[in-house]
Amino acid sequence: MLKNRIIPCLDVKNGRVVKGINFVDLKDAGDPVEQAKIYSDGGADEICFLDITASNENRDTIYNVVEKTSKKCFVPLTVGGGIRSVEDINKLLNCGADKVSINTAAVENSKVVIDSSKKFGSQCIVVAIDAKKNGDKWEVFTHGGRNNSGIDALEYAEQMEKNGAGELLVTSMDRDGTQVGYDIDLMSKISSKVNIPVIASGGVGNLDHLVDGIKFGKASAVLAASIFHYGKHSVKEAKDYLDSKGIPVRI
Partner 1 sequence: MNVIIVDYKSGNISSVINSFKEVAKDKVTIEVTSDLNKIKSSDKVVLPGQGSFKSCVDALNKIKGLVDTLNEFAINNKKPLLGICVGLQMFADVGYEEIKTNGLGWISGKVSKINNQKGKFKLPHIGWNQINIVKDSKIFRNIENNSHMYFVHSYEFIPEDKNVISATTDYSSNIVCSVEKENIFGTQFHPEKSDKFGLKIIDNFINL
- The yes or no reply on residue 95 touching partner 1 (CB under 8 A) is yes
Measured from the CB atom, is 46 or 176 closer to partner 1? 46
- Whether the CB-CB separation of 76 and 124 falls below 8 Å is answered with no
- The yes or no reply on residue 71 touching partner 1 (CB under 8 A) is yes
Q: Indicate the residue type of 38.
A: I
Binder of partner 1 out of 29, 197, 226, 243 (CB under 8 A):
197
Distance CA 136, CA 151 (A): 13
Binder of partner 1 out of 9, 20, 38, 70 (CB under 8 A):
70
Q: Indicate the residue type of 123.
A: Q
**10 Å Cβ neighbour count for 29?**
15
* Residue 135: CB minimum distance to partner 1, A: 28
* Residue 130 falls in the annotated catalytic set: yes
Binder of partner 1 out of 55, 57, 135, 195 (CB under 8 A):
195
- Whether the CB-CB separation of 126 and 73 falls below 8 Å is answered with no
Distance CA 78, CA 223 (A): 11
- The yes or no reply on residue 162 touching partner 1 (CB under 8 A) is no
- The yes or no reply on residue 86 touching partner 1 (CB under 8 A) is no
- The yes or no reply on residue 19 touching partner 1 (CB under 8 A) is no
Measured from the CB atom, is 122 or 226 closer to partner 1? 122
- The yes or no reply on residue 116 touching partner 1 (CB under 8 A) is no
Nearest to 32 by CA among 14, 47, 10: 10
- The yes or no reply on residue 83 touching partner 1 (CB under 8 A) is no
Distance CA 51, CA 83 (A): 9
- Whether the CB-CB separation of 138 and 131 falls below 8 Å is answered with yes
Measured from the CB atom, is 93 or 210 closer to partner 1? 93
- The yes or no reply on residue 42 touching partner 1 (CB under 8 A) is no
Q: So which residues are the catalytic ones?
A: 11, 130
